[in-house]
Structure 1
Amino acid sequence: MKLLRAMPGLVVLLAVTASPSVGQVLEGPDGPVEFVGLKEWNAQDLFDAIQELAPDQPFHACAAVMERELGFAEATSTSYRTMGSDEVYTIVVGVEDATRVRPRSIGSDTLVLPEALESLKAFGEEHPGLLHMAAQVLYVRGDADRTGEAAGWLGIDAETLAEVWRLLDRADRRRDEGLAHEILARDVSWQTREVATLVLSNFVDRDPAWHALVLSLTDPMDRVGGMASGVLRGLTASDVSLRPVDWTPAEESLLALFGGTHAWGFGTMLRALVATGITPEFGRRLVRERPDLLLAHAGAEHRGTRAPAITFLQAISGEDFGTDVDAWAAWIDGQPD
């Protein structure tokens, strides 16, 4: 299944499959709507409330209504379209417990960027959305033929995508690795933090870059979290084996993500943890602390939503309970503190 476009909102895929599980699926105006992660809310009541508040708004845009009007601490909605069909399958994730949603603090400084990073930022401003699209196909970087193929999927000019790679190549390893971390810690501009997050892709041979990427997932600005999600997707989308990463220094950020912070990037984060060989012991520690959202995803009817959660559980447990969420919950409950 190849990703053609993966921006928050509407995602177009070559195929969408689902099989019976425990998701709460209702028939929406444009196709099935599946609700994931609900606790106090009933799916039908939430569906009706969204329809009443925003009757003309497509369901892939309902997250704002859930957060602003209905009191959700975090919400995300994504629609998947099967090629050749007008029907869409929408996943709505709702996080009701505000104590688990912990966006990171941002700084108040305005840092001066070197010419290479300033040029990358300006290029992104000139081509809105381009840097996000480029992040998601980082696995083709350095391969002209695959860059052309990816540009075709994304509906952009191959030379424009190649220019993003050239601008990234101009970043200075000695100076800009530390600067990217400093920007994320101190800079008030979300546009600058967004660019710094993309630049981190140059330095993933070192663990701190991976830690900073999951920290960026918790950024209070969705565009920065979206960039981090795109970079993680782009780094882990190919079949190339990635080196193991020690994730323990990023425990605070990971717990925030397992609690529901930036729920849109949850599956991507899980795939990155598995791809970089998270140790089972540390993974079990995270799950013991924050099991609910993981189990909710594992119980989704939509295959693409549940697969990363089940794969993660298999990786840290050595077990395979498939889509049996009760069995996974019992396994988690049986883990020692």
Structure 2
Amino acid sequence: MRNVYEFIEKYKRLSIIGMEKNVGKTTLLNKLINDVGSKKILGITSIGRDGEDIDVVTSTDKPRIYIRRGSIIATGRDCLSKCDITKEILYVTDFTTPMGDIVIIRALSDGYVDIAGPSYNKQVKEIISLMENFGSELTIIDGALSRKSTAISDVSDATILATGAALSLDMLKVVEETKKTVNFLMLEDFKERAEEIKKDFETVKALYIKRDGSKTYIDVNNSVDLAKKIKENLTDEVEYFCIRGAITEKIMETFIETRGCFLNLNIIVEDGTKFFIDNGLYNKAKMCGIKFKVLNKINLLFITCNPHSPLGIDFNKNEFKKRLEEEVSVPVIDVVGDENEIY
């Protein structure tokens, strides 16, 4: 058995992302703060808002974020009045959010905080650097609904994925969706021409790379136009299709419909958070000879499982955890039920 701290002790930047609202991210964050905050100075921020009593999206009760004295927090100016800690303002940024400009503070006492962080990865990285300059030894970024991009390797060193019964009343569906997400997050990185493709992405949305090394650039503004360009340019000479942005159902359906035009195709995306396709399309794509790789590999440490649903219908926690362990290749933890132990 290994405790959570042993998994994260060597990292400086950690992100938490969730499959859905109310799957236990805040509970996990509080557990990390409680267990790790006594060993390291923590820096904490969020993509979006977190820490409020009532979830502003689902209108359900949720746990608040309780921090230790000495922690460094990046949050919106309007959230400061909702933080019941004694605080020292360290820095005021010009990063504007719906909750005001982002302010970096130091907690001079234990207490509850309301956190609303920046919305863009570039800003998140700058905030992290500032908090580290003020003494943060481990920075935790709490991801918001549908914003898994904090998991990518140029923002955080490691990632934890939270899943739970709030995703669906069907346990098997939750397990299957979680398995698919884990598979995408753990995709192998494409090292051979990664820097070259990243440079291409500065000016175009997508490109083909043929087996002879030649390229065809595709610069479009939407998925409909991109689907048309895919059909026009896809041949059996194409080895790689590289895309900046999301792999949507429309794009994936286009490749499946034109499967007779290629032999074995590798689809290269920025990172494993860019896939917005269901299990049916994912499995069909694999059957068509399509493989997926990423430019930025994500270091997924483990997943947490929350058997409780805010709708009042809970899973059997032992069965839920067991089914997840059978389907995913990373450790699984029930933050509350396991008393902070990962098997």
TM-score of the pair, normalised by structure 2:
0.35
TM-score where L is the length of structure 1: 0.35
Which structure: larger Rg?
Answer: 2
Q: Which structure has greater strand proportion?
A: 2
Name the structure with the higher helix share. 1
